[in-house]
Each structure stands twice: as structure tokens, then as C-alpha cells.
Amino acid sequence: MKTLNFDTIAIREGYQTTAEQEHSEAIFMTSSFVFDSAEQAAKRFSKEEPGNIYARFTNPTVGAFERKLAALEGAQACVATSSGMAAIFATLMALLKSGDHIVASRDMFGTTTVMLNSIVAKFNIDISYVDLSDLSAWESSINDKTKLFLLETPSNPLGQVVDITALSKISKAHDILLAVDNCILTPALQNPIALGADIVIHSATKYIDGQGRCLAGAVLGTEDIMEQVHGFVRATGPSLSAFNAWIVLKGLDTLSLRMKAHSDNAMKLATWLEQQESIEKTHYLGLESHPHHQLAKSQQSGFGGIVSFEVKGGRKAAFKLINATEIFSITANLGDTKSTITHPFSTTHGRLTDEEKSMTNISEGLVRLSIGLEDVNDLIADINKGL
């Protein structure tokens, strides 16, 4: 290009025209892809020839993340999104229409409930709420417009669990899609599709990245369902960026090691908490005292990193304990290498009415921990300071 002028050289020189490196972890930081010819462009757009067109549709780095996560979840296909909320919204908007009805667990991530009540409901989609583990409540909420069941298991912060296999028998018998937000356990500890779920949703922001670096999300299921979800993402734009896809792709490499370490630390800390006199109750699925311990054991391969407990003395005692910690980060985030501590009543669940709080058993003395990968003895000593 030596005979060209400066501005042309500045823009056109230096590129290596390699084939797209689908098997490497190259980050394709590009908005669009260039075609060899007008004929190839036409074929790509008409889907006669598969390949990348524009990063809102597909990107090789994003594709690598989608294929790896699909393999880990045992799903036919995966659509990555810019966040976990985008994954939930894309699922609902792609698969539902005005007049449909869904049944949702009462005990979900706060913003999910806000999205259902303040946005999804505006589109004339009816929502019934049920107790997560109450199979007969799910079944009796079904009407002839019911299209989807939406839930998280285990729930956060109390670790309620539903029998996914039993619930999937109910959903299948009524031609209803079962969608499970698997963010708290990840495919390293639970595979909802193998248990009968149709759709798995992730906030990859949490354990899949695992190091608090970016937002990302994903939806997984059959080719047919994912084509509809992809159509929504392609047409409305909550696509995952190549850079963030690379971060969560690298996160998947160490996911199972990290989930095991989070679970081991959480088990040790919960066991210690349960022995403390100033603690009323400890909620951790790994403890035999948890009412859903046996069910969790039968469908999960670990109990995860979320532990919560009620201190004697209500909000005052809870705040004192939280403020006395020096290692734990006081934040509502979870799924990080760093341990975090939060008071659900006044933060994550603060928007619920008092009645809703008591229905979900969020008391003023409840403290939630997301157990990170620090030495557990240091974490125990840190909690002990405020007891």
C-alpha cells in the first residue's frame, strides 16, 4: 500500500488477514466482519453460508464461551448476553407473548422480581408467585395460558431447594417450559438440564467469572429455543462483548476447582457458626440441620458458597457484627474470590414489603455471607470479632 496517502495508510495498513482463529482464545474486538466478495456477503446474510457478520449477532470469542458453557451444562446451544438480567429478560421476551401466564418462585434475585412486576407485567403477561419447594403450589397455579416456570434453586440467602426432576414432570405434563437460574451453583455443582429443566439461565457475573471483573450472562437450552432467544438478542442488542466473553471464558477453566474451594470453606464456616451461642440459626445446605439437606444432596454435587445466619439481637446485633469485620467486604455482591457480607433485610430485600419479607423469612437479624477463597480460619476469626 506504499503508494497510498497518509490517511489511507493510517486506516488500512498493518492488518494480518488470518483465518478467524476459532480454536484460540483470541479476543475479536470488532463490531463487524469483512467478506471476501459481494457474493459471500449475500450468502452470509441469507444464512446460505454460516459465518460472522456483525458482533451483535455473533463473535468468535463470544462463540467460544457459548460452546464451552453449553458443553458444561449439557445443553444443545447457548446464547451469551451482556448480563444476567439481560439473559432473564431475553428468555421471557423471546418465548412469551401478550396474554401468556408464568409461574415464578417467590424467592428469587431481587431485581428479577422487580423486572417481572414492573416491566414484564406491562406487556400483559400474568405472573403467579409460589413457594419454591411447594410442588403442589406450582401445579395448582397452572392455567390454560401458562407457558413458563421460572425459579432459582437453591434460593439465596436461605438455601431453599425444589426437586427439579419432580417439578419437570409437572411442567412437561402441561407443555410448560421449565427455566432454572443456575447462577448460585453453576454447572460445576448442578446440571438442571440433566434433571429435566428446559432452559438454564446464568449471571456469569458471579461464579463463572468468579473474580468480580465484569458483567455477563447466558441462556442455554435446545437449538430450537435458543434460536428464538438469539433472534431477540440480535434484534434488540444485549449481546456480550468480546472482551467480557474472554474474561468469562477464562473463568470457566477454573470453575470446578473454585466451586469446590468455595463449598469447602463455606462448610467449615457454617459448621463453626452453628456452634456459636450468640447465633440463633445457621442456614447452609451442607448442614444436616437444613430442612432441604437431603434433597440438595440428591440433585447437587456440592452446596456452594452462600451461608446465612441469624444473630440474637436483631438488626442492632447484625449491624454490629457486619461493622466489626475487617476482611469481609460489605457489599451485596456474591460469587467473588473475596468474601462478602450483607444485611439482606435493609439491602437486597429492602424493596420488599414487611409482609413479603416475613413470607420469605428475611428477618432483621439475618446476615448473608458469600464465602470467598481466603483462608477459612481468618474468615472465622473475622466473624468472631463481632459476636
Q: How far is the CB of 202 from ligand PLP (least distance, A)?
A: 8
CB closer to ligand PLP out of 279 and 296: 296
CB closer to ligand PLP out of 112 and 160: 112
Strands 146-152 and 177-181: parallel
Strands 199-203 and 217-221: antiparallel
CB closer to ligand PLP out of 207 and 284: 207
CB closer to ligand PLP out of 150 and 318: 150
Q: How far is the CB of 288 from ligand PLP (least distance, A)?
A: 25
Contact residues for ligand PLP (CB under 6 A)? 83-85, 109, 112, 152, 181, 183-184, 203, 205-206, 215, 217
Chain mean position to CA 370: 15
In the bound complex, which residue of the shown chain has the CB atom lying closest to ligand PLP?
84
CA 64 – CA 135 distance, rounded (Å): 37
Sheet containing 329-330: order of strands: 279-283, 306-311, 366-370, 340-342, 329-330
CB 273 within 8 A of CB 387: no
CB closer to ligand PLP out of 80 and 317: 80
Q: How far is the CB of 216 from ligand PLP (least distance, A)?
A: 7
Grid cell of 378 as nine digits? 481468618
* Burial of 144: CB neighbours in 10 Å, binned 0-12, 13-18, 19+: exposed
CB closer to ligand PLP out of 315 and 338: 338
CA 93 – CA 98 distance, rounded (Å): 10
Grid cell of 99 as nine digits? 396474554
CB closer to ligand PLP out of 114 and 330: 114
CB closer to ligand PLP out of 209 and 310: 209
CA contacts within 13 A on the Cβ side of 85 = 11
- Local structure of residue 117 (DSSP, 8 states): H
Q: How far is the CB of 280 from ligand PLP (least distance, A)?
A: 25
Strands 329-330 and 146-152: unpaired
* Angle formed at CA 287 by CA 285 and CA 293, multiple of 5 degrees: 50
Q: How far is the CB of 297 from ligand PLP (least distance, A)?
A: 21
Sequence-ordered list of residues with C-beta below 8 angstroms from that of 181, at least 6 positions apart, any chain: 84, 88, 108, 109, 112, 150, 151, 152, 200, 201, 202, 203
CB closer to ligand PLP out of 84 and 305: 84
Residue 50: strand, helix, or coil: coil
Q: How far is the CB of 185 from ligand PLP (least distance, A)?
A: 10
* 25 residue type, one letter: E
Q: How far is the CB of 253 from ligand PLP (least distance, A)?
A: 20
Q: How far is the CB of 111 from ligand PLP (least distance, A)?
A: 6
Q: How far is the CB of 206 from ligand PLP (least distance, A)?
A: 6
